[in-house]
């Protein structure tokens, strides 16, 4: 968590801010926070970062849910264990029928893994000489992968960033709704709601850029 950008209020949100937000959200969903990350969220640089995220439209309540989980009256290591256990229950199949799949295919392709969305994401990554690290053991339509890819292509000014953002806009609401229903801890439901808000901000920024471009021409 010490590699977060300096905290800002995100006034005049620009592409660099969106890249930072997508990268942060990708890291959030790639793995549960360890003890050091929890310490940072509770009283370090990541706490100030959350202040900035909470200032974004649609994020205040979502960040509050994350903070309620992080600021439980318990030692840092126990809070990390609680948030980590919730991650396992939700996203790694430990929770049985209450498992929430972090893969687009499950939410957008009839509930099966490695469906058409995975193939489509694989093609987008390959077109930009990108791939999922073998050590990650994840399909290309995992939420963390899509968020990371969106950040990378946004940073490079690639039009395919908008295609990935559109994909996220299509399936993350269902994912977030499932998290809200199943996440007793609250951290992950809050984080999923932040994804919805950030994707919406990225969509609006892209639309505004198109309008301004049309006016100039």
List the domain boundaries for the chain: 15-216
> What is the rounded distance in angstroms from the CA atom of residue 91 to the CA atom of residue 114?
16
CA distances from 198 to 19, 21, 35 (A): 10, 7, 26
CATH number given to 15-216: 1.10.3480.10
DSSP bridge partners of 103: 142
Q: What is the pLDDT of residue 208?
A: 54
> What is the rounded distance in angstroms from the CA atom of residue 68 to the CA atom of residue 57?
19
Rounded to a whole number, what is the distance in angstroms from the first to the last CA of the chain?
43
Q: Is the overall model pTM greater than 0.95, yes or no?
A: no
pLDDT (tens, 9 = 90+) of the chain, 217 residues, equals 545 554 455 666 788 899 999 999 999 999 999 999 999 999 999 999 999 999 999 999 999 999 999 999 999 999 999 999 999 999 998 767 779 999 999 999 777 888 999 999 999 999 999 999 887 789 999 999 999 999 999 999 999 999 999 999 999 999 999 999 999 999 999 999 999 999 999 998 766 554 334 334 3
Q: Which tokens belong to 155?
A: 């940073």
- The phi and psi torsions of 142 (rounded to 5 degrees) equal -70, 145
């Amino acid at each position: 968590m010490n590699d977060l950008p300096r905290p800002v209020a995100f006034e005049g949100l620009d592409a660099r801010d969106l890249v930072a937000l997508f990268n942060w959200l990708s890291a959030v969903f790639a793995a549960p926070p360890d003890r050091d990350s929890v310490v940072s969220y509770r009283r370090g640089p990541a706490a100030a970062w959350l202040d900035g995220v909470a200032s974004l439209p649609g994020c205040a309540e979502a960040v509050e849910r994350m903070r309620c989980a992080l600021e439980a009256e318990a030692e840092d290591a126990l809070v990390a264990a609680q948030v980590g256990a919730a991650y396992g229950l939700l996203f790694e199949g430990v929770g049985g029928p209450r498992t929430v799949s972090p893969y687009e295919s499950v939410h957008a392709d009839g509930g099966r893994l490695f469906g058409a969305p995975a193939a489509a994401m694989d093609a987008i990554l390959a077109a930009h000489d990108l791939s999922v690290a073998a050590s990650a053991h994840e399909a290309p339509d995992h939420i963390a992968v899509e968020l990371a890819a969106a950040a990378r292509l946004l940073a490079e000014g690639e039009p395919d960033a908008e295609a990935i953002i559109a994909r996220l806009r299509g399936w993350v609401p269902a994912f977030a709704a499932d998290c809200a229903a199943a996440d007793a801890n609250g951290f992950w439901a809050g984080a999923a709601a932040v994804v919805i808000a950030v994707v919406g901000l990225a969509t609006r920024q892209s639309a505004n850029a198109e309008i301004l471009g049309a006016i100039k021409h």
